Structure 1
Amino acid sequence: MRISLIVAMLMAGAAMPAAAQSDLGRRVEKLERDVQAVQRKVFPGGAVQPEIVPQQDVATSGVPATSAVADLTARVDALESQLRTLTGQTEENAYRVRQLEEAFNRYRADMETRLAKPVPQPAEEAPSTAPPTPEPAQAETPAAAADPGEQAYLTGYRLWDEGKYGEAQAALEAMVKKYPKHARASYGQNLLGRAYLDDGKPATAAKIFLSNYQTNPKGERAADSLYFLGQALTALKKPAEACKVYDELADVYPTMRDWVKQRLPKARQDAKCS
């Protein structure tokens, strides 16, 4: 309204009083400062510099007010343009925040659904040379969701079972390193060796199987590691060494579980043991 009045006065040929110019200038400068404050809130990192730069009044006593009004009009136009830009930016930011919130809520709901489901216990892993008949599933274990070591083992197991040997190796290596005293440590080390063996890396697998047997001979999968050590040595064209391993397996673990005992005769036959 004030600017329209000024324009009307100019069109009528009236000169604008210096006091009115000064008052309008102060109000415009205040508006500029308000816009800059909004800019700082919208862009707190300072990535966008304010477009409005306060200017000094150029009108002096005795000089027609036309140039001062033109200057103030340009500054008001710039302020309005900047406010439109800030308003658009604010609306865009709000839209992005809503999108992030919706995506997070979907992710949280999905995770809550997954965690609410009971974690399936893995069936005993079957070697590549195993007969078609699967081995019975392992006994039930405590809820895995409450046991990070168990969960880490199950993660490695699922990756191995899906044939993702590289990812399984990384997951199981992390598991046995972080939980060396866990009840699943022997399982994890043995399955780690199998992940390398199934990945066509028998030399690395042999080292892991031997380590599992030597460092944890009473572990639940120590006997299995001796069996698979023989398998790895056979793959490395070292049948004599494989036969020695199978002999030690029979001597140290005469009560080995049936799953291994049923496969040992064929393993000895493949290595041409006497």
Structure 2
Amino acid sequence: MRFHLLGLVILASTAMPALAQERIDRRLDRLEQEMQAVQRVVFPGGAGRQGAIVPPEIQPQTGTTIGGIPATSALSDLTARVDALEAQLERLTGQAEENAYRLRQMEEAMTKYRGDVDFRLNALEQTRAPAAGPARPPEADKPVGGTAEPAAVDQPNTGDAGEDAYLLGYRLWDTGRFADAQKALEAMAKKYPSHRRASYARNLAGRAALDDGKPATAAKILLANYQDDPKGERAADSLLFLGQALVELKKPEDACKVYAELQDVYGGSMRDFIRQRLPGALKAARCS
């Protein structure tokens, strides 16, 4: 009987470390899965490029029998190391959440910045654009009695190359350097055809040609902007200024057809800039 009890004690002493080892293995498996999940958040490009966040310090051991007091000591050390890994995982998870929050803040700030830029550009366009009728004659921007130096233009730096290219052309147009503006804007549209500012650039290139006393060139650019990208943000504007170019070319009947197209296609979606100028344009072309 005494030997039987001793055998039970020995079995219990060897089974307890084995059970503890099994629990540790489960914790390690869970930690590995959670580490991989955090790694995908912190390094979306993949671990193959950035490397693992935490190199595996503990390798599973096979073929080793754990028993007795030494095994218990090893398990205690292993448990402490797993506790440390869990704490590190918690810190990494918090860092990933903080980075995601900061990224959302940056995206919101960029969206607000783009909205502010659009608002300012629209306001400036409305300030400079004629109410209706033919474009401003080119000599209105020419100095009398001499040649003036071209107005200085600051190089934009928004972090978006397409946006910068458009803003440069816009600033050239805004300072009266129409030929330079047309060239810069057409280059922008060619280099960044899928950028949302491409429609802006082609439209403003046509306006620059119109302001520069080149209505035939303007008509060609403006018509292409409408036909190539009718859903572009400045396609409707191009029809308005195309009509003005046709009036300059002594083709008021064609201008009236263009204005009719403008109303048919964009009647319910015209922005105020166009809506306010269309009656004057119709009057200037003597549309019935």
Normalising by the residue count of structure 1, what TM-score does the alignment of the two structures yield? 0.51
2:19 is aligned to none
2:233 is aligned to 220
Counterpart CA distance in 2 for 1:216 and 1:273 is 26
- List 4+ stretches of structure 1 deviating above 6 A: none
1:152 to 2:153 alignment: no
CA offset digits 1:26-72 (Å, max 9, x no partner): xxxxxxxxxxxxxxxxxxxxxxxxxxxxxxxxxxxxxxxxxxxxxxx
Runs (5+) with no aligned partner, structure 1:
1-117, 132-142
Counterpart CA distance in 1 for 2:157 and 2:270 is 27
Query: 2:131–2:280: 8 Å Cα contact kept in structure 1?
Result: no
2:65 is aligned to none
Counterpart CA distance in 1 for 2:210 and 2:218 is 5
CA offset digits 1:59-107 (Å, max 9, x no partner): xxxxxxxxxxxxxxxxxxxxxxxxxxxxxxxxxxxxxxxxxxxxxxxxx
Runs (5+) with no aligned partner, structure 2:
1-112, 133-155
Structure with a larger share of its residues in helix: 2
Counterpart CA distance in 1 for 2:190 and 2:172 is 18
2:92 is aligned to none
Residue 130 of structure 1, CA deviation: 2.6
Normalising by the residue count of structure 2, what TM-score does the alignment of the two structures yield? 0.48
Residue 123 of structure 1, CA deviation: 2.4
251, 259, 262: which one aligns with 2:276: 262
Query: 2:166–2:201: 8 Å Cα contact kept in structure 1?
Result: yes
Counterpart CA distance in 1 for 2:264 and 2:157 is 35
Count of residue pairs the alignment pairs up: 146
Give the match's secondary structure for 2:131: coil
Counterpart CA distance in 2 for 1:169 and 1:258 is 25
Give the match's secondary structure for 2:158: helix
Counterpart CA distance in 2 for 1:144 and 1:194 is 24
Query: 1:155–1:171: 8 Å Cα contact kept in structure 2?
Result: yes
- If asked which structure has higher relative contact order (CA below 8 Å, sep 6+), I would say 2
Counterpart CA distance in 2 for 1:268 and 1:249 is 11
Counterpart CA distance in 2 for 1:130 and 1:266 is 7
Counterpart CA distance in 1 for 2:224 and 2:207 is 13
> Which aligned pairs between 1:15-26 and structure 2 lie closer than 5 A?
none
> Which aligned pairs between 1:27-176 and structure 2 lie closer than 5 A?
121=117, 122-124=120-122, 125-126=125-126, 128-130=129-131, 145-176=158-189
CA RMSD, 1 decimal? 2.0
Larger Rg: 1
2:256 is aligned to 243
Counterpart CA distance in 1 for 2:195 and 2:181 is 18
Counterpart CA distance in 2 for 1:245 and 1:170 is 26
Residue 194 of structure 1, CA deviation: 0.4
